[in-house]
Chain A
Amino acid sequence: IAGITQAPTSQILAAGRRMTLRCTQDMRHNAMYWYRQDLGLGLRLIHYSNTAGTTGKGEVPDGYSVSRANTDDFPLTLASAVPSQTSVYFCASSEGVAATDTQYFGPGTRLTVL
C-alpha cells in the first residue's frame, strides 16, 4: 500500500512559470489537503477538499488553485510562481471530516522559485 504519493520530489522553477504539484492517494479517503511548511511557521493549510468535486480555501490560498475531479487525485497549481512560494509542500488525506479522523501525509515536494 503506497498511501500518499507526491510528485515531483523537488523542483527548481523560474518566477512567472506555471507549475502543478501532483498528489495521489490509494486509501479511498474522502478528504484531501495541501499544506506548505516554512521554517519557523509550522505547516499552514492552503486548500482542502472534503469530497470529490468540492474544494475550499485554507489559511493561505492566494496564488494557488486546486481541483478534485476524482477521489484519488488532488493537484495543486501555481499559475505564476513567485519567490515567496518557495517552500516544502505536503499533501494529506483523511477518511472523512469527523473530529476523530486522522490526517495522513505524503513525503512532500520541495519547491524553489528563483
Chain B
Amino acid sequence: GNSVTQMEGPVTLSEEAFLTINCTYTATGYPSLFWYVQYPGEGLQLLLKATKADDKGSNKGFEATYRKETTSFHLEKGSVQVSDSAVYFCAPLLTGGGNKLTFGTGTQLKVEL
C-alpha cells in the first residue's frame, strides 16, 4: 500500500524566509499527489495538487513538483508569512475500489516576525 514520509517538525522560520518541506512516498502505480494545510482549530484545506509526473501544483505562493524518479513531492515557498503558520500534510491518492488518501504525520510550521 501507500506510505508517506514527511520531514519532522516543528519547523520555525522568520518571516520572508524560504520554506521547503520534504515529502517522499511509496505507492503502487502513479498516484495523484496532494498537499493539505490545517490552520489551528480548523479542518484540512487543499493547498495544491499534481496528477501526473512533472506536473507542478501551485497556490498562494506555494509550489510542489511531482517527481516520479525520486517519488517526491516537496513543498516550497519563496517567502513565508506569519499567516502561513499551520500544519502541512502530504498525501498521495490511491484509486481503485475508492478514492483513498494516505496522509503523512504532518509538518508543523511556525513563522515568526
Contact between A105 and B44, CB atoms less than 8 A apart: yes
Binds A, one of B12-20, B64-72, B75-83, B98-106: B98-106
Q: Kindly list chain A residues whose C-beta atoms are within 8 Å of the C-beta of B34.
A: 102
Contact between A48 and B32, CB atoms less than 8 A apart: no
Contact between B46 and A40, CB atoms less than 8 A apart: no
Tell me the smallest distance from the CB of A30 to a CB of chain B, in Å. 10
Tell me the smallest distance from the CB of A57 to a CB of chain B, in Å. 10
Q: Kindly list chain B residues whose C-beta atoms are within 8 Å of the C-beta of A43.
A: 44, 89, 101, 103
Q: Kindly list chain A residues whose C-beta atoms are within 8 Å of the C-beta of B61.
A: none
Give the A-B pair count, Cβ closer than 8 A: 63
Q: Which residues of A in the span 17-42 have a Cβ within 8 Å of any Cβ on B?
A: 31, 33, 35, 40-42
Which of B34, B99, B103 has the most CB atoms of chain A within a 10 A radius of its CB?
B99
Report Cα–Cα, A43/B89, bound state, in Å. Answer: 9
Which of A56, A99, A103 has the most CB atoms of chain B within a 10 A radius of its CB?
A99
Residue B95 at the A interface, CB < 8 A? yes
Report Cα–Cα, A113/B68, bound state, in Å. Answer: 43
Q: Which residues of A in the span 85-114 have a Cβ within 8 Å of any Cβ on B?
A: 90, 92, 94, 96-108
Q: Kindly list chain B residues whose C-beta atoms are within 8 Å of the C-beta of A98.
A: 95, 99
Contact between A106 and B43, CB atoms less than 8 A apart: yes
Report Cα–Cα, A22/B44, bound state, in Å. Answer: 18
Interface residues of B (CB under 8 A from A): 4, 31-32, 34, 36, 42-46, 49, 51, 89, 93, 95, 97-101, 103-106
